[in-house]
Amino acid sequence: MKRTLYRALLTVTALMLVTYSAAAAHVVCGDRVFPTTLTMDDPGVSDELSLPTVVLTPTSSGESNVYAYEWDKTITEDLGVAVNGDYAEQFSPTQTLHGWDDITVTLKDHPPCIDRYEHEELAWSVGVIRVLPGTGATQLSNIGAIPTVGTTAPTFYIGKGLGALRDEWLRPLAITGEVSRVISDTSSVTPNAWSYAASLQYSMPYVQQHIKALNLPNWMTRTTPIVEFAMTSPDGGTPTGTISSGLLYDANNWQLGAEAIMPATSVSRQAQGTGFVIQFHVFLDTYYKSWFGKPIIKRNLWGT
């Protein structure tokens, strides 16, 4: 695992060094900026790229590593599509498995945020997540290491800033949430499930810009300490989940995040130990003013 961690850190560092800083981009609602979270999705739609996302996890039988990507493309100003994929490795004393997981496609619509009153800071969106069966490695599918059945998940996303609180030092807090009903193509093979997640964030950029400019090193003023919680509860099965805590660093047009991932249930603890995730995320609309960085159709379906 140490060798794999070293490779991951080198990859992320190299990407940081070649990245050019320009303007800022995020899910913005009033004074609130909702950063990209690592184990769940944010409530916005934009042109972005996560590459790589590296997840390293010790398991009861060895080690599991995932190297993932996500490309988000806006169709209109409020409607976007995302494509996710990952390359998985599993190591144990008896065998080594590796290959591509099934591709996931998400269609998401983001209505205008609600900020009619001072510091209301409410953003939300709805989407549909589809896992495409048969797009992963046949070797992994044959032994059940990746799903053999497709799923469709209607999903609701929400983000709420707490800028209206009376205590000014609590105003940088924000919460985001996500809930999905996962509907299996064949429930007798893969049961239907509920999937839900939430995050609690404390934005140092919000402190500097809207509370008080502190005499801190510049890099600290760009960070957001965060805790994320993600659970899956299959029908008639045992819930599993994780709690992740770490730090997000925001430059002008990219974000670097790192979190420890801890099992949240007894079943999860039996299957895995504490791992970690590292993600490098680029806001494409700050690099490209052409097709890659702007909506295909310059129109908002909500008429705003």
List per-block mean pLDDT (blocks of 10 residues) for the chain, which spans 304 residues.
Answer: 44 34 61 95 94 94 94 96 95 89 96 89 97 92 85 98 96 98 95 97 97 95 98 95 97 95 94 95 84 90 81
Q: Where are the beta strands (DSSP E) in the chain?
A: 27-29, 32-34, 48-59, 62-74, 79-91, 96-100, 104-109, 122-131, 151-161, 173-184, 193-202, 223-234, 240-250, 254-263, 275-283
As for how many domains the chain has, the answer is 1
Close Cβ partners of 142 (under 8 Å, ≥ 6 residues apart): none
Distance CA 113, CA 117 (A): 12
pLDDT value, residue 304? 65
Which residues are CB-contacts of 225 (< 8 A; sequence separation ≥ 6)? 201, 202, 204, 245, 246, 247
Question: Would you say residue 297 lies in a domain?
Answer: no
pLDDT value at position 26?
67
Q: How many CB atoms lie within 10 A of CB 174?
A: 25
Cα separations (Å) of 160 from 22, 27, 29, 118, 233?
27, 11, 9, 13, 25
pTM, two decimal places: 0.90
> Would you say residue 299 lies in a domain?
no
> How far, in Å, are 7, 9, 99, 184, 195 from residue 3 at the CA level?
6, 10, 19, 37, 33
CATH code at 83? 2.40.160.40
Residue 263 counted as domain residue:
yes
Q: Does any domain span residue 304?
A: no
User: What is the Cα–Cα distance from 52 to 64, expressed in whole angstroms?
Assistant: 16
Is 154:178 a contact under the CB 8 Å cutoff? no
Instruction: Give pLDDT, residue 9.
Output: 39
Residue 300 covered by a domain:
no
CA 59 – CA 69 distance, rounded (Å): 22
- The two tokens of residue 102 are 């099934």
DSSP-derived 3-state class of residue 211: helix
**Domain range enclosing 184:** 2-292
Contact between residue 156 and residue 181 where contact means Cβ atoms under 8 Å apart: no
Helix (H) and strand (E) counts in the chain: 4, 15
Token pair recorded at residue 291: 């097709």
User: Residue length, the chain?
Assistant: 304
So what's the pLDDT on residue 172?
98
Residue among 260, 231, 230 at smallest CA distance from 245: 260
Torsion (CA) 262, 266, 272, 274 in degrees, nearest 10: 20
303, part of any domain: no
Identify whether 219 is part of a domain: yes
Please report whether residue 161 resides in a domain.
yes
